[in-house]
Amino acid sequence: MPAARVEDVAACCHELGSCGLQHRDQGPDARLEAYFDAAVDLPVLLGGLQEGLRCAGLGHLSVDVSQVVEEDWEAGWRRHFGPVQVTPRLWVRPPWAALDPAPGRIAVTIEPRMAFGTGGHESTQLCLQALEKHLRPGASCLDLGTGSGVLAIAAALLGAGRVLALDVDAVAVASARDSVRLNGLEGGVVTVREGSLAQAGAEHFDLVLANIHSQVLRPLLGAIAARLRPAGVAVLSGLLAAEEAAFRGCMEAAALRPGETLERGGWICLAGTRGA
Ligand code: SAH
């Protein structure tokens, strides 16, 4: 499969109950190994997988099935997830990977088995980079489509005064709540709520982060702009570089003035400020 799609396919396998995933190859053509319990109903699983991939716009992927004797895949799988350095001071790490404390270093701890957002995906990394740049101490922040909670937690650790994390997916909401606890932030500035923008009540934000597929994001741009405080910034990702011009047009139409573009591995992140 295209390497850029690995995390989407992984999320799909995870939803179908995979007990472990291993990304084998590097380079543009990737292979993902997903482990399931031996008692799984294989035709149902394969049907669910193809349907999930189709819904995610990933089309048909070739799937090989084999039975493996239980081995220490957990150790191998854990080896795959190490700490990821996103910016000179910001890291995302799994709970078992120790990081030496360094002055000013901020590490977000995420359990990789959780919902989308382990820090490995370019669009997540771009959002973290933009978050670090745009977040002012004490700012109020909305993380729309929080997934594992990675952006919301990073915002809190970077000094936000208030963070609202929303996701329409109940599994993601549970994961984000677990992540908040894992990072020792329970009872703190982060609130996780199931739902979309309507669940933000009447709140307005200095910063809105939304790393969601562009087809989902486009119709939400006007509502996102309306949630920004004056001089607020929307950090938008989940977009491919090829979509940049069209997406900038959509932002302008939604009264969001597009600013700089960040790019990694074919993915982009656009920051927009509220127009007059
Ligand atoms: N913020 C994380 C996860 C992004 S994945 C990161 O940057 O890595 C996108 C998430 O958006 C998914 O968890 C999905 O359930 C959620 N989502 C999709 N449409 C949404 C909507 N309209 N409102 C809120 N969340 C949405």
Ligand 1 mutation target, pool 212, 235, 239, 269, most atoms within 8 A of CB: 212
Going by alpha carbons, the residue nearest to atom 10 of ligand 1 is 145
What would the mean pLDDT of 8-18 be, rounded to a whole number? 85
Which region holds residue 12: left if phi is over 0, alpha if psi is between -120 and 50, else beta?
Answer: alpha
Q: Which pLDDT does position 81 carry in this prediction? A: 77
Cα(40) to centroid(ligand 1), Å:
28
Residues for the chain: how many in total?
276
DSSP string, 39-88: TS-HHHHHHHHHHHHHHTT--------------SHHHHHHHH---EE-SS
Going by alpha carbons, the residue nearest to atom 16 of ligand 1 is 145
Contact 205, 232 (CB under 8 A): yes
Core vs surface per residue 60-88: b (16+ CB within 10 A) or e: eeeeeeeeeeeeeeeeebbeebeebbbee
Cα(168) to centroid(ligand 1), Å:
7
More confident position, 29 or 149: 149
Ligand 1 mutation target, pool 123, 143, 150, 167, most atoms within 8 A of CB: 167
Could you read off the pLDDT of 141-200 as tens digits, one per residue? 999 999 999 999 999 999 999 999 999 999 999 999 999 999 999 999 999 999 999 999
- Taking 80 as the threshold, does the pLDDT of residue 250 lie above it? yes
More confident position, 133 or 54: 133
Could you read off the pLDDT of 42-95 as tens digits, one per residue? 888 888 888 888 887 777 778 888 887 665 656 666 777 789 999 999 999 999
- Taking 60 as the threshold, does the pLDDT of residue 234 lie above it? yes
Q: Which pLDDT does position 127 carry in this prediction? A: 97
Beta bridge partners of 234: 208, 272
Residues 6+ apart with CB under 8 A from 98: none
**Ligand 1: residues within 6 Å at CB?**
115-117, 121, 124, 127, 144-147, 150-151, 166-169, 172, 196, 211-212, 216
Q: Which pLDDT does position 86 carry in this prediction? A: 94
Is residue 250 classed as helix, strand or coil in its secondary structure? helix
Q: Considering the entire predicted model, what is its pTM?
A: 0.77
What would the mean pLDDT of 123-134 be, rounded to a whole number? 96
Q: Confidence class of residue 114 from pLDDT cuts 50, 70 and 90?
A: low
Cα(144) to centroid(ligand 1), Å:
6
Q: Which atom of ligand 1 is nearest to the CA of 123?
A: 7
Which H/E stretch holds residue 130? Answer: helix 122-134
Ligand 1 mutation target, pool 121, 128, 146, most atoms within 8 A of CB: 146
What would the mean pLDDT of 19-45 be, rounded to a whole number? 80
DSSP H stretches of helix in 150-212 = 150-157, 170-182
